[in-house]
Structure 1
Amino acid sequence: MTPAEERAARQDEEPLGSVLRALRLTPVGGDEFTGTALPQLTGRIYGGQVLAQAILAAAETLPAGAARALHSVHGYFLRPGKVEEPIGFAVERLHDGRSFSTRRTHALQQGRPILSLISSYQEDQPGREHASAAPSAPDPDGLPSALEMFGGMDHPVAKFLSSTAAFDVRHVEPDIYLRPAQDPTDRQMLWMRTRSPLPDGLSQLQHRALLAYACDQVLLEPVLRRHALSWRSEGLSVASLDHAMWWHRPVDVGDWLLYVQESPSARGGRGLGLARVFDRAGAHVATIAQEGMVRVPEDADARVDVAP
């Protein structure tokens, strides 16, 4: 490998390395931990990061020797976090049964919660099984990469994303980064995997936490797509409100995952995004739901006629 190739490889590895370092929490006593935030142009903490950190904090309090896998989370984003401040994580042990453990975790800044999350963990057990089938989708290797697109743009946001994004995203339909979709449908599909190979020895819990980290960036796109909006629509304001995930089978975020997305409803400045996630072999590995605030300036001028 030439020196130039080595530098390029390090540049690709570092974004994921920064994420993995941010997910390493420091115990501070009892069931409390502290962590740091990754830089963001907005100055606000990326929601997927604090979600993943809360998942990992809760798992640190599971019974010793109990092999319980994370299977669901339900959380609310309560306040925007500030990237320059440390984040505290306080875990409450709600329940430890014969098969399941349940935890509530608050992510805190200046003593106030920015995220409240309940997570559940289960022993691996036999049971009835079925799963939805993955739809047909083009191979990701033949689709355009968001990383390559951002890397070729002379814009501060694009430059930031191309240098810090830890995941490669490849849309099946034309993306909506710069312009609205020509066909304003509430459905889309995309592939996603880590930008560089994962280090050896990551646990399944870490893979599941990384899936939570990554998915927050795309879940509301079907809402935007349905209403002919793009990420560059003037005055667009988007924020995650709540988030739920279910993990059905082992997941590998270092390999391509297919997100099959839709938005069944939007109203009152809120939009709901759903995603079924499949691995490259077609196994249904996770299901995700998120409601978010989606506002544009012209919505404030809308009026609803009500009969007297």
Structure 2
Amino acid sequence: MNSVVNHLIGLLKLERISDTQFIGLSQDIGFPKLFGGQVVGQGLSAATQTVEGRFPHSLHCYFLRPGDSAHPIKYDVEVVRDGGSFSLRRVLASQFGKTILSMTVSFQVKEEGLDHQDAMPNVPGPESFKSELSLYREHANEIPEKVRDLFISDRPIEYRIVENQNPFRPRPGIAKRHMWIRSVAPLPDDPLIHQSMLAYTTDYGFIETALMPHGISIGNPRLKIASLDHAIWFHRPFRLDEWLLYVADSPSASAARGFARGQIFNRKGQLVASTAQEGLLRFADNPKK
């Protein structure tokens, strides 16, 4: 198995220290702050390991403090309720005795019921586009040297963005993007691995959709960007080692916050998950200066 994929699987597995307590290692991706998707994926993994015979269908979380990528994270899971069909878990992720993330995860037994969905957008397949990583490597000379290795290093998830352009010189456009996503190597037949890795993946580049109407680069030195909350709804089974289309749009940005929502389809056109996020978009000065 690919080494970066194997590392991510291990990162999301966690060390169990009691029935409801877990320790997760931190991933240093070149920034002192933790990647929010890592904490979401690990929190989901912790909650899922306290439930049997039920599968997560939704999670909602708030990022309360920035995490430190040089130190492990403690996950405390509270068993809120186990009903006839649904179970609810509350997860607190902490470092140095302070909570960095609060999450609730709802689980459900397998059931049959009404079935409908939005249609999948008609966009070219992933074969038509270069990977985001290859674009970063093509424009490596435009990346600040102190973070260049971060942007051009191997990664466990491949992203192919339909609205391809120079990521460091974006042009103003509509607040919508289409990303083909897939793990760079086959994954085990364990739904928890696929769900935790998708949770990890959905935080990447999501709130950046709110920057698209303004033609502002994620690398703008005046920009402070951070996830404030994150939600995922799992609708249907999926595999992350097969191409998924992540469709994101941003209907609003105001008060130094941007809002984004997403839909994730498999190549058969099935809607497998939905997402939503609000993030901080704050500038050191007026970005139009």
Calculate the TM-score normalised by the size of structure 1.
0.88
Correspondence list, 1:49-64, <5 A:
49-62=38-51
Counterpart selection for 1:177 from 143, 152, 167: 167
Correspondence list, 1:196-275, <5 A:
196-198=185-187, 200-201=188-189, 203-275=190-262
Q: Is 2:86 the partner of 1:100? A: yes
Matched to 1:96, the amino acid is D
Matched to 1:167, the amino acid is I
Displacement of 1:160: 2.2
Displacement of 1:208: 1.0
Q: For structure 1, which runs of at least 5 residues remain unmatched after alignment?
A: 1-9, 303-308
Displacement of 1:237: 1.1
Correspondence list, 1:73-84, <5 A:
73-84=59-70
Three-state SS of the structure 2 residue aligned to 1:16 is helix
Residue 306 of structure 1 corresponds to: none
Counterpart selection for 1:39 from 21, 28, 44: 28
Displacement of 1:298: 2.8
Report which of the two structures shows the higher radius of gyration computed on alpha carbons.
1
Residue 95 of structure 2 corresponds to: 109
Residue 6 of structure 1 corresponds to: none
Residue 285 of structure 1 corresponds to: 272
C-alpha deviations, 1:239-277, integer Å up to 9, x for none? 000001101001211111111111011111100011111
Q: Is the 8 A contact 1:91 1:105 kept in 2?
A: yes
Displacement of 1:86: 1.3
Matched to 1:73, the amino acid is L
Matched to 2:264, the amino acid is V
Residue 301 to residue 226, structure 1, CA distance change in 2 (3 Å): closer
Residue 3 of structure 1 corresponds to: none
Q: Is the 8 A contact 2:157 2:181 kept in 1?
A: yes
Matched to 1:146, the amino acid is E
Residue 176 to residue 291, structure 1, CA distance change in 2 (3 Å): farther
Q: How far, CA to CA, are the matches of 1:301 and 1:260 in structure 2? A: 28
Residue 279 to residue 170, structure 1, CA distance change in 2 (3 Å): same
Residue 68 of structure 1 corresponds to: 54
Residue 295 of structure 1 corresponds to: 282
Q: Is the 8 A contact 1:151 1:158 kept in 2?
A: no
Of the structure 1 ranges 36-45 and 47-56, higher mean CA displacement relative to structure 2 is found in 36-45
Correspondence list, 1:150-161, <5 A:
150-152=136-138, 153-154=140-141, 155=143, 156=145, 157-161=147-151
Residue 94 to residue 176, structure 1, CA distance change in 2 (3 Å): farther
Residue 291 to residue 18, structure 1, CA distance change in 2 (3 Å): same
Q: Is the 8 A contact 2:161 2:179 kept in 1?
A: yes
Residue 88 of structure 1 corresponds to: 74
Matched to 2:228, the amino acid is L
Q: Is the 8 A contact 2:48 2:55 kept in 1?
A: no
Counterpart selection for 1:168 from 132, 136, 158: 158
Q: For structure 2, which runs of at least 5 residues remain unmatched after alignment?
A: none
Residue 194 to residue 158, structure 1, CA distance change in 2 (3 Å): farther
Displacement of 1:176: 5.8
Q: Is the 8 A contact 1:151 1:159 kept in 2?
A: no
Residue 107 of structure 2 corresponds to: 121
